[in-house]
């Protein structure tokens, strides 16, 4: 195998591979990297590189020889998508990270970032969730397919570091949203799902909108460009095998979130609750004190981020 390089920090001329560059976090990563002066970016589309095909991934790494990898490609979705396409979520996500991590190691890249997901933490983990809660209890059943693939990727990245000395880092971002979010009703998470419903309801002058569940679960959200900025910060400054949380520390209930999005969209109707629908985890907030102790903070609050997202998608 290729000898691993000693990492100091990303240089502006380094070749950086971003998988999933057309997705919300991937496109944010490209924006933020370019804004920081990194121009030597590799951003292959799915048509150019099918990450589920091992031979194609191995050949790509051998040919392009990236210095750093942000593996951001993933099949993602909310509760409906997780329940409807569990086999797709498990197979494709596991295949992609397995192929990318192994090919990156074999190609001798300097460092790889593989993001975990807050949904891999136990459903009833003590709040705010610390990194030590990983694998310390049962996860939320509605997230099982996606979370199980992410858990496999986390363990794989840690195992390649432990056995081979391959430099991998694993940020654990909280719920992300922003420009480029998925508004497809089959795959969308709560923010784009609510936003699209309120936009349609405003156009149709509907007097009432029903929100799934009790409205009481608390969620933490972070703007996509802040996620990208935090990941770049970690790529430059963090080199440990332990998971590190990446959150905003800003919590809001689902019902209050719905009211805020309705206000931004301009929907004037009534909001009611359908408590027969699932809530998911009762609270999900990350303890991000570790990255904050390194002097990193997000720059965009929830109202500002939602406004930017709405204006970009519907403006």
Residues forming the active site: 146
Element (H, E) at 161: helix 144-164
**What's the token pair of residue 60?**
């790509």
- Tell me the CA distances in angstroms from 26 to 8, 37, 174, 281, one per residue in order: 24, 17, 16, 26
As a whole number of angstroms, the distance between CA 73 and CA 115 comes to 10
Cα angle: 286, vertex 287, 293; to 5 degrees: 135
296: three-class secondary structure by DSSP: coil
How long is the chain? 315
DSSP 187-251: T--HHHHHHHHHHHHHHHT-SEEEEES-S--EEEEEEHHHHHHHHHHHHHH---SS-EEE----E
Residue 221 and residue 191 in contact, taking contact as beta carbons nearer than 8 Å: yes
As a whole number of angstroms, the distance between CA 127 and CA 228 comes to 24
Instruction: To the nearest 10°, report the CA torsion of 297, 301, 304, 307.
Output: 110
Beta bridge partners of 168: 112
DSSP state at residue 18? E
Residue 44 and residue 20 in contact, taking contact as beta carbons nearer than 8 Å: no
Task: For the chain, list the strands marked E by DSSP.
Answer: 16-19, 41-42, 68-71, 111-113, 168-169, 171-173, 175-177, 208-212, 218-223, 244-246, 251-253, 270-274, 283-284
């Amino acid at each position: 195998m290729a000898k691993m390089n000693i990492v100091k920090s990303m240089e502006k001329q380094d070749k950086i591979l971003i998988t999933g560059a057309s997705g919300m976090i991937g496109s944010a990563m490209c924006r933020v990297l370019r804004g920081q002066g990194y121009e030597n970016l590799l951003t292959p589309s799915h048509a150019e590189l099918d990450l589920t095909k091992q031979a194609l991934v191995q050949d790509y790494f051998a040919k392009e020889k990236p210095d750093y990898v942000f593996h951001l490609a993933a099949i993602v979705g909310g509760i409906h998508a997780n329940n409807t396409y569990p086999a797709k979520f498990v197979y494709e996500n596991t295949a992609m990270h397995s192929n990318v991590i192994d090919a990156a190691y074999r190609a001798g890249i300097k460092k790889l970032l593989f993001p975990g997901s807050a949904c891999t933490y136990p459903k009833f983990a003590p709040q705010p969730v610390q990194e030590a809660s990983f694998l310390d209890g049962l996860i939320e059943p509605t997230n099982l397919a996606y979370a199980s693939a992410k858990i496999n990727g986390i363990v794989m990245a840690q195992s390649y570091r432990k056995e081979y000395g391959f430099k991998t880092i694993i940020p654990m971002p909280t719920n992300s949203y922003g420009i480029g979010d998925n508004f497809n009703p089959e795959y969308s998470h709560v923010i784009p799902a609510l936003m699209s419903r309120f936009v349609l309801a405003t156009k149709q002058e509907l007097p009432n909108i029903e929100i799934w569940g009790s409205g009481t679960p608390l969620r933490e959200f972070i703007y996509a460009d802040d996620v990208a900025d935090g990941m770049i910060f970690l790529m430059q400054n963090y080199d440990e095998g332990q998971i590190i949380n990446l959150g905003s520390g800003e919590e809001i209930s689902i019902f209050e979130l719905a009211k805020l999005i309705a206000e931004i969209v301009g929907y004037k109707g009534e909001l009611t609750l359908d408590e027969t629908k699932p809530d998911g985890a009762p609270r999900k907030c990350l303890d991000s004190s570790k990255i904050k102790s390194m002097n990193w903070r997000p720059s965009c609050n929830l109202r500002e981020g939602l406004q930017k997202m709405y204006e970009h998608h519907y403006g």
